[in-house]
């Protein structure tokens, strides 16, 4: 029984389970599709309690990591992903799904994994914060420009950013400074993991027929996501080593470059372009998970070698 409870609490297991359940029981996803924005707002609120208010000060120390976070997350990653999607993806809705991913903010998982992978946690927090704030203004403009405003109202998208980023960030500050803060620390992981899992279930479930009937499309999506995470991340490390970049900061920058918020991408894609555009975002969740596992296993292997 204890093993089963531990398994249910394991983030990796929960996200994989969401994909499997989406494929098996995906017909039920349509019944809860309309609640995705509320689930995302809750997940983002609890996720952002990972960002300590002390990280905002001194303001001068925010500038460089915030700019680095913006540059890696919105320029380098977006350039690679959109370029690959333009080459490999013919379907307009699927391409729009990649546009959403490219302009999605970084995943808050960057912060705990910076600690796990011996990166610079404070640097990661500030980089994530900078990219989040940048999202509010960059995403409405970028999505509208890259899709030719195809059915997208920039003002509506800006309002969506306020609902899913600015408002959750404000509420997270209230939670941190209120009497419920200790309780938030206890339940945060469970709410975030299961909330993201629910969003992935919806994205997979709404498109379960594609997963079963169109393997070529899935292969094309997989190629774009594999290169945008594994290849881009490893190339970045090689380049950083050539320029003798500090290893601790390099790890956090690698995460800022490659880890996107899959839950945010799912909701934005569904809201703006419909369920088919959410297929790449469902794949995003899988590849982000695989890349984080790869980095974790690589670190464990390196640690074992250094101890022998």
The whole-number pLDDT of residue 55 equals 64
Q: What are phi and psi of 260, to 5 degrees?
A: -110, 160
CATH for 153:
1.20.1530.20
Residue 6 lies in a domain: no
pLDDT in tens, 121-142: 888 888 888 787 777 777 777 7
Instruction: Give Cα 267 distance to the centre of its chain.
Output: 12
Number of domains comprising the chain:
1
Enumerate the H helices of 118-246 as residue ranges.
121-146, 154-161, 167-176, 181-206, 208-213, 215-226, 232-242
216 inside domain: yes
pLDDT at 233: 95
In a domain, 292, yes or no: yes
In a domain, 178, yes or no: yes
CA dihedral of 284, 286, 290, 293, whole degrees rounded to 10: 110
pLDDT of residue 22: 86
| pLDDT computed for residue 306 by the predictor | 74
Integer Cα distance of 159 and 164 in angstroms: 9
305 occurs within a structural domain: no
* Residue 159 belongs to domain spanning: 15-300
Instruction: Write out residues in the chain with pLDDT < 70, as ranges.
Output: 1-11, 53-59, 148-154, 308
pLDDT of residue 4: 56
Q: Are 99 and 147 in contact (CB under 8 A)?
A: yes
User: Is residue 308 domain-resident?
Assistant: no
Q: Note the pLDDT of residue 149.
A: 63
Q: What is the pLDDT of residue 1?
A: 56
In this predicted structure, what is the pLDDT of residue 101? 92
Residue 4 lies in a domain: no
> Is residue 1 included in any domain, yes or no?
no
């Amino acid at each position: 029984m204890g093993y089963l409870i531990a398994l249910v609490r394991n983030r990796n297991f929960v996200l994989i389970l969401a994909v499997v359940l989406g494929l098996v029981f995906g017909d039920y996803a349509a019944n809860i599709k309309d609640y995705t924005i509320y689930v995302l707002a809750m997940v983002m609120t609890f996720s952002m309690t990972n960002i300590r208010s002390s990280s905002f000060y001194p303001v001068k120390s925010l500038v460089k990591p915030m700019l680095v976070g913006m540059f890696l997350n919105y320029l380098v990653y977006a350039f690679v992903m959109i370029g690959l999607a333009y080459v490999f993806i013919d379907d307009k809705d699927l391409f729009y799904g990649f546009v959403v991913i490219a302009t999605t903010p970084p995943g808050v998982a960057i912060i705990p994994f910076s600690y796990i992978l011996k990166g610079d946690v404070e640097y990661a927090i500030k980089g994530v914060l900078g990219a989040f704030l940048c999202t509010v203004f960059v995403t409405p403009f970028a999505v509208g420009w890259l899709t030719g405003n195809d059915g997208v109202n920039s003002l509506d998208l800006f309002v969506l950013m306020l609902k899913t980023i600015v408002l959750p960030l404000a509420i997270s500050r209230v939670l941190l400074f209120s009497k419920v803060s200790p309780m938030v620390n206890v339940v945060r992981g469970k709410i975030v993991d299961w909330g993201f899992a629910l969003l992935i279930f919806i994205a997979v479930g709404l498109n379960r027929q594609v997963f079963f009937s169109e393997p070529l499309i899935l292969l094309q999506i997989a190629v774009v996501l594999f290169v945008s995470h594994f290849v881009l991340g490893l190339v970045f490390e090689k380049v950083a080593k050539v320029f003798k970049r500090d290893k601790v900061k390099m790890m956090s920058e690698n995460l800022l470059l490659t880890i996107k918020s899959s839950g945010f991408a799912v909701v934005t894609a569904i809201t703006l372009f419909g369920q088919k555009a959410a297929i790449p975002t469902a794949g995003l969740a899988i590849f982000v998970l695989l890349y984080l596992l790869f980095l974790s296993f690589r670190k464990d292997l390196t640690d074992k070698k250094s101890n022998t």
